[in-house]
């Protein structure tokens, strides 16, 4: 009996040694089962390619106006819980990257409320720290808060541990300060490797890229509003994931008309 107890004790100790920072950051009521499951995943992650890729949806589309780059990304990396275009073909997903505040987010939120549209706002930690009232308003009005990392580093350039820290550091901050458990991650600058996607999945996150984006981020060189509006509406397609930047004065100006125009084409926003 004593030998059996000793064996069980040593087995439990070995299993517990495999806990990772991602496992510690996410809630789990069965730590022994979690640690036993994590070990082979970590071994697989370490062997995956660290080659850096810069994502872009491209300009080529299929017969449904879906960007081929987004479809190819889903096909190649969906196994890591990563996507660039949604399988929900009846709805459009509207997302905003929040690197810093430029004075337009309140207007964007006003328009979303007026049009009864929910969006996802991908935050970096500095934004969440500096703009608590805006972040709380996003939450209160039913929008999703997404993880855009602590420091906005290029994920494939980081060590495995730093990659985890960038994801889980912001996860813990948002959970502790806003009571939200985020589940979606957008890699900064759209840069990723096979390994960084697998690490993100290991941390309990879905990687969300996009199937439409345009040059809206340069505050000193904003797109002309009417041309931008035409581009945004004409790009609509089943399962579209739109990436917009809230620092854009053009986006704030045309958002309501964009929503109306996309709805007129038969789409709704999820």
Q: Please identify every stretch of the chain with a pLDDT value under 50, giving residue numbers as ranges.
A: 1-21, 23-43
Answer whether 86's CB lies under 8 Å from 67's CB: no
- Contacts of 162 by beta carbon, 8 Å cutoff, 6+ apart: 153
Q: Which residue has the tokens 């690197």?
A: 99
Q: Tell me whether residue 212 is exposed, middle or buried, using C-beta atoms within 10 angstroms of its C-beta: 0 to 12, 13 to 18, 19 or more.
A: buried
- Parallel/antiparallel/unpaired status of strands 191-192 and 184-185: unpaired
* Token code pair at residue 25: 């950051």
* Of 266, 230, 253, nearest in space to 111 by CA: 253
Task: Give the per-residue pLDDT at 44.
Answer: 86
3-state secondary structure of 150: coil
Angle between helices 2-16 and 31-47 (to 10 degrees): 50
Q: Which residue has the tokens 């399988």?
A: 87
Task: Give the per-residue pLDDT at 117.
Answer: 99
* Token code pair at residue 148: 């855009």
What is the set of active-site residues? 97, 245
Q: What is the spatial distance between Cα 185 and Cα 201, in angstroms, rounded to a whole number?
A: 9
Answer whether 220's CB lies under 8 Å from 205's CB: no
Task: Give the per-residue pLDDT at 22.
Answer: 60
Alpha carbon 194 to its chain centroid, in Å, reads 16
- All structural domains of the chain, each given as residue ranges with its CATH number in brackets, are 65-269 (3.20.20.370)
Distances (CA, A) of 245 to 82, 99, 125, 152, 216: 21, 8, 16, 15, 6
195-219 pLDDT, tens digit per residue, is 999 999 999 999 999 999 999 999 9
Task: Give the per-residue pLDDT at 173.
Answer: 99
pTM of the model: 0.84
Q: Tell me whether residue 133 is exposed, middle or buried, using C-beta atoms within 10 angstroms of its C-beta: 0 to 12, 13 to 18, 19 or more.
A: exposed
Beta pairing partners, 269: 92
């Amino acid at each position: 009996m004593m030998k059996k107890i000793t064996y069980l004790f040593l087995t439990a100790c070995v299993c517990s040694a495999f806990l990772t920072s991602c496992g510690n950051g996410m809630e789990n009521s069965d730590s022994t089962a979690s640690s036993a499951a994590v070990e082979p995943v970590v071994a697989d992650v370490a062997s995956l390619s660290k080659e850096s890729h810069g994502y872009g949806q491209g300009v080529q589309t299929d017969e449904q106006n879906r960007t081929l780059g987004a479809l190819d990304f889903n096909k190649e990396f969906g196994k890591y819980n990563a996507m660039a275009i949604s399988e929900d073909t009846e709805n459009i997903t509207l997302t905003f990257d929040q690197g810093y505040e430029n004075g337009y987010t309140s207007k964007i939120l006003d328009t979303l409320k007026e049009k009864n549209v929910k969006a996802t706002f991908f935050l970096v930690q500095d934004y969440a720290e500096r703009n608590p009232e805006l972040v709380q308003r996003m939450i209160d009005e039913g929008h999703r808060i997404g993880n855009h990392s602590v420091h906005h580093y290029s994920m494939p350039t980081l060590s495995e541990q730093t990659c985890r820290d960038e994801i889980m550091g912001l996860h813990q901050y948002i959970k502790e300060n806003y009571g939200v458990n985020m589940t979606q991650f957008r890699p900064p600058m759209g840069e990723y490797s096979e390994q960084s996607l697998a690490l993100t999945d290991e941390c309990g996150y879905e990687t969300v890229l996009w199937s439409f984006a345009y040059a809206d981020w340069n505050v000193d060189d904003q797109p002309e509003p009417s041309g931008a509006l035409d581009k945004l509406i004409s790009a609509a397609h089943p399962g579209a994931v739109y990436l917009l930047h809230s620092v854009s004065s053009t986006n704030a100006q045309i958002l309501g008309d964009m929503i109306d125009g996309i709805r007129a084409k038969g789409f709704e926003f999820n």
